Structure 1
Amino acid sequence: MKTQTLNVGLIGFGMAGRTFHAPLIQAAPGLELSAIVSRDAARVQAAYPEVAVHAKATSLFADRDIDLVVIATPNETHFPLAKAALAKGKHVVLDKPFAVSLAEARQLKSQADGADRLLSVFHNRRWDSDFLTLKGLLDEQHLGRVVEVESRFDRFRPVVPDRWREQHRPGSGTWFDLGPHLLDQARALFGMPRAILLELASLRDGAEIDDDFMAVLEYDRLRVTLRASTLVAEPTPRLRVNGTRGSFVKYGLDPQEAWLKEGESPQPAWGVDPSPGRLTVNEGEGDEVVLVHHEVESVPGDYRAYYDGIARTLLRGTPPPVTAEQALEVMTLLEAGLDSYRQGRWVKLKEGGSLPRRLHAKG
């Protein structure tokens, strides 16, 4: 790469593009948000007056100065847009999920590999404060051998909004919206499971598609439960983790999404979670149980790390922050979950179930 600044074109200026991608791209050293594809040019230029606006993606793809294309559009459009961008020699970042099917995702990866282009998926929740805090506790084996994990994204949104995610179309619904976040976090911590069981429900009045799910991932002597609902008014634990030495419980979502929605700009030392978790561990000896409670200082979250990593990959050749292979594993779990729901049974995965060494700690 001749230049030390990469020109980025963003497709889509809805909630994902406007709230997450645009400000995070702007905050990343080595990246410049040069163009946005949107049907509402006035809205774009009100926020980014210096950025060119294209009415159609084909116009962006034809711009030889654009190095990286970021796709933040409805899920069913990910495949055709990424395919077209790669065909024009662009590097590509896709908002999660990768695509609406594993077959589409595999085809895109094959195309990117053949063209020697970067293809990555925006799994930003790896940089949530609560996830980084839990990862640190597991790395240091504070809980002993972990036996049970419950990870939840619960909200109270009783009225079904008029948006594509709530409509009966490919890639819509809560499983494709929040499932990729929780699945990617579980995969990053524990690897691929041996099997998955998924239950979906449409609980709100007027719901066309799933707005509630429970997925159970089976590992060797570990069970991970992932849940999301739109009808939870009373706060539930964001994380509840049990092990042979004790438990960790964390309430409250990472605050970065809320801050971005309020228009705050990402900056160093950002993403400090004001709600610490609670670690309860057995400090007794032998058969004696002495439970001691500790307030756990949160590791700061930092969504900036994703696009910082993308810039380093393209400019310096470092590994991507999220590889296409990792994103394919999330797609494998999304699709296996749907198979489980349709068949009403556990679905085994061909590979998976082995745990990182840190999780085999003796209790």
Structure 2
Amino acid sequence: MQLVKVGLCAFGMSGKVFHAPFLKEHPGFYIAAIVERNKQDSKEKYSDATIYRSVDEMLSEADIDLVVVNTPVQTHFEFVKKALEAGKNVVVEKPFTVNTAEAEELVNLAKEKNLFLSVYQNRRFDRDFLKVKEVLATNVLGELKEAEIRFDRFRTEAGGKEHKENPQQKGSGTLHDLGAHLVDQATQLFGFPKKIFADVFSMKGTEFANDYFEILLHYENNLIVRLKSSTFVKEAHYAYSFHGSKGSFLQERTDHQENELVAGAIPIYGKVWTQPLEKADGILNFINEKNQTERIITSSEPGNYMNYYQQIYEHIVFGYPLPSPAEEIIQNMKIIDAAIESSKTEKNIYF
């Protein structure tokens, strides 16, 4: 099996939870380098990896094929650009960049260098989103008229992360953080909207970056899609709601890969490694072909973030399609930029 040598640009939560475990357990990858500015925490589980004290040092000295840029979003543009200029393929954490202009420049550079650039949109591999795609593909709801995708939390106090909570930092706040997931899921399901209207602000106060947003995406055939997130939600709503001419589908957010990984779970290559659902997590209520109402309690199948890196590997070795290519994610950045503009001007933004 061809071995792909990887360098991680950081070993914080993203590196420890979302990247290193999957790269280690996938037989086609080898973690050759990890950037830790002051510590050497990675040695406990990834003793074969060489520790570098800066991204520049790793790029100039390490023998690697793929760079994972998993640093704060404010550094993505700089580090992705340096990695591409060093001749490395790149996986970059979401959100891709702080704005569309940066994203477009990096996509153009990757094309010039004949390298690939993929954005780590791991929520495409959540069990709940996979169930949504499955149900919508059947057209059982008829012509869709309204959809809502939410990602709420109950975090009423500041967490102390400047790059996420300081409003003076470009790319800080919930819109770029959780919004990057919701916007991606909306565009995956429905494509690019014709106009949007958004409300983005901080419930904690103006000294904090936005922690609330509501974005209305308008599509053809009068379909409206609402994306919403708040950090003041103690009792969860259905994360996904879809309503059409023949029925409705409600889906809870039940993917716990992140929680299990934080707790120490080890993903298993080629197998289901997550805990089974304790109860059903969806409701499908529709009018069938006999014009009768059916109400079905549904259950989602396990998701697996390993599938992202499996697709990366298959792209490198076999030339299969690249998962979440950066040029595709530009449309997400345009929506995020437009949401900020719409909130400031209190106007619709047309595309």
What TM-score, normalized by structure 1, do the two folds share? Answer: 0.91
**CA 1:219–1:151 in 2, change beyond 3 Å: closer, same or farther?**
same
- Residue pairs, 1:98-113, within 5 angstroms: 98-113=96-111
Aligned equivalents of 1:19, 1:194: Cα separation in 2: 37
SS in structure 1 opposite 2:131?
helix
SS in structure 2 opposite 1:103?
helix
Pick from 261, 272, 281 the counterpart of residue 276 of structure 1: 281
Aligned to 1:50: 48
Aligned to 2:242: 241
Is 1:336 the counterpart of 2:338? The answer is yes
SS in structure 2 opposite 1:8?
strand
Once the two structures are TM-superposed, the CA of residue 333 in structure 1 deviates from its matched residue by 1.1
Identity %: 37
Is 1:145 the counterpart of 2:143? The answer is yes
Aligned to 1:194: 194
Aligned equivalents of 2:288, 2:106: Cα separation in 1: 51
Query: Contact between 2:132 and 2:251, CA under 8 Å: does it hold in 1?
Result: no
Once the two structures are TM-superposed, the CA of residue 328 in structure 1 deviates from its matched residue by 1.0
Query: Contact between 1:129 and 1:273, CA under 8 Å: does it hold in 2?
Result: no
Aligned equivalents of 1:306, 1:47: Cα separation in 2: 22
SS in structure 2 opposite 1:80?
helix
Aligned equivalents of 2:295, 2:25: Cα separation in 1: 38
Q: Which runs of 5+ in 1 are unaligned?
A: 350-363
SS in structure 1 opposite 2:239?
strand
Matching residue's letter, 1:252: R
Aligned equivalents of 1:239, 1:208: Cα separation in 2: 28
Aligned equivalents of 1:94, 1:25: Cα separation in 2: 14
Is 1:204 the counterpart of 2:204? The answer is yes
Query: Contact between 2:338 and 2:349, CA under 8 Å: does it hold in 1?
Result: yes
Is 1:167 the counterpart of 2:166? The answer is yes
Query: Contact between 2:216 and 2:226, CA under 8 Å: does it hold in 1?
Result: yes
Once the two structures are TM-superposed, the CA of residue 77 in structure 1 deviates from its matched residue by 0.3
Aligned equivalents of 1:36, 1:233: Cα separation in 2: 37
Once the two structures are TM-superposed, the CA of residue 257 in structure 1 deviates from its matched residue by 1.2
Aligned to 2:265: 264
**CA 1:311–1:284 in 2, change beyond 3 Å: closer, same or farther?**
closer
Aligned equivalents of 1:280, 1:259: Cα separation in 2: 31
Matching residue's letter, 2:128: D
Is 1:315 the counterpart of 2:317? The answer is yes
What TM-score, normalized by structure 2, do the two folds share? Answer: 0.94
Once the two structures are TM-superposed, the CA of residue 276 in structure 1 deviates from its matched residue by 2.0
SS in structure 1 opposite 2:90?
strand
RMSD: 1.7
Q: Which runs of 4+ in 1 moved over 4 A?
A: 271-275
Matching residue's letter, 1:178: L
Residues 117-126 or 205-214, more deviating? 205-214
Aligned to 1:294: 296
Query: Contact between 2:266 and 2:273, CA under 8 Å: does it hold in 1?
Result: no
